[in-house]
Amino acid sequence: LLISIKGGIPNMQTALKMQTISSPMQYQLFINPQLSVKNILSGQSSQCIVTSYWQYIRSHKYNVIKQLLERWDFDGSIKIIKDYNKILSFLIDKDVLNKNDIKNNRKVLQNVQDILNFGLSAFNLDIDNIDNIINNSNLTTEELANFGSFINQDKYDILLNLYTQCCIYQEKGEIGNFLAKMGSFYEEVCHNISKNIGAGDYDYFKKNKIYTREAKRNHVDTKIKDRANNNPHLIKEKEEWKVTQFQLKDNRKPKGIFGLLDSLEYWCNCRNNLIHGSRGFSQQRIKEFNQDRDENACAFEEILLVMEMILNSSLSGLRKEYKQNFVNTKNYYIYSDIKKWVIDILMNDGLS
């Protein structure tokens, strides 16, 4: 899009430029005539300089990314960066920009895109891709250290990741995604405890065709009982699994991690029934489910609390520092650090 603004006072011209820059048309070139009295008197046309107000475009794109990240939209933010990079390539091809002029800007964009891909992969539970990003990234060791909770697979905790995503989806009001991740959390608790007590990991469940939530929970239940019967020193493990009493609303008192999982079972079934019945999730429907729930089920508003009780149990295997820093806080695991880092970097770059 070639743009030429003539006439009007400077304030009017500036307003028109801003309106044009914020339009959906991304590839814009401004034609600025250079007044020459000599050329005018000799009847020649004025020479023109083709330019771009790419700094304004940059500021606009950065603000859009900030708004998207406030909603934890890593995928959308990556798309905005890619679109902005295409604009820069277009301007370079048209000899409007010099590569050296925006070298630092493009380095910032690449680093930000790497970190956002880092966050997106975490959201997709794709830890192998995180390793690929780290190995191929130009980020410094110091920059990568900011995200140390994810860099090493030994430090990564899938239970904490699933719980954190539930926190984010609840904040966004995405009930369907919230309940889906809660269901994954439920099953991963069974996988995790089974692995920690030497009763088999995810592959064991798959090999032995232990597929349902109930079957997985019962498998762990049997193994914990057997361990306690064979070793009196493990009686505390058995108590934490099925004896320790927790307090929920309406005087409901689930016993142990087994009982807490049972209190989530109702909501897993609600989600499955709604999906298979092609029915949506609404606040009214959640209210109805709350009223109809059985005596073992927690209230919808208590789901995160139940997950936190499970995570704070020693059976979860969650690191002490993770419990302190990420459970029942507004510090959303790796995602809060990524959001803050990206926004800070972009806002500083936008001011340069």
Q: Which two tokens stand for residue 71?
A: 């909603």
Q: What span, in angstroms and rounded, lies between the C-alpha atoms of 181 and 124?
A: 11
Is it the case that residue 69 has pLDDT exceeding 80? yes
Instruction: List, for residues 55-68, the tens digit of each pLDDT value.
Output: 888 888 999 999 99
Q: What span, in angstroms and rounded, lies between the C-alpha atoms of 217 and 258?
A: 7
Confidence (pLDDT) at 228? 93
Q: What mean pLDDT is predicted for residues 162-184?
A: 95
Please give the DSSP secondary-structure letter assigned to residue 199.
S
- Mean of pLDDT over the chain: 86
Torsion of CA 119, 125, 127, 130, to 10 degrees: -20
Q: What span, in angstroms and rounded, lies between the C-alpha atoms of 293 and 289?
A: 6
Instruction: List, for residues 265-286, the tens digit of each pLDDT value.
Output: 999 999 888 777 667 778 888 8
| Highest mean pLDDT pick, 4-18, 275-289, 324-338 | 324-338
Instruction: List, for residues 231-261, the tens digit of each pLDDT value.
Output: 988 999 999 999 999 999 888 999 999 999 9
User: What distances in angstroms separate CA 348 from CA 53, 63, 72, 108, 112, one per listed residue?
Assistant: 18, 12, 20, 10, 13
Sequence length of the chain is 352
Confidence (pLDDT) at 25? 65
* Phi and psi angles of residue 59, each rounded to the nearest 5 degrees, phi first: -60, -40
Confidence (pLDDT) at 94? 78
Non-local (6+) Cβ contacts of 332 within 8 A are: 72, 164, 167, 168, 326
Q: What span, in angstroms and rounded, lies between the C-alpha atoms of 139 and 158?
A: 25
Confidence tier at 346 by pLDDT (50, 70, 90): very high
Residue of higher predicted confidence among 263 and 22? 263
Confidence (pLDDT) at 275? 77
Q: Say which amino acid occupies 213.
A: R
What is the strand order of the sheet 29-34 is part of?
A: 2-3, 29-34, 47-51
Confidence (pLDDT) at 138? 78
Instruction: Name the pTM for this structure.
Output: 0.87
Please give the DSSP secondary-structure letter assigned to residue 194.
H
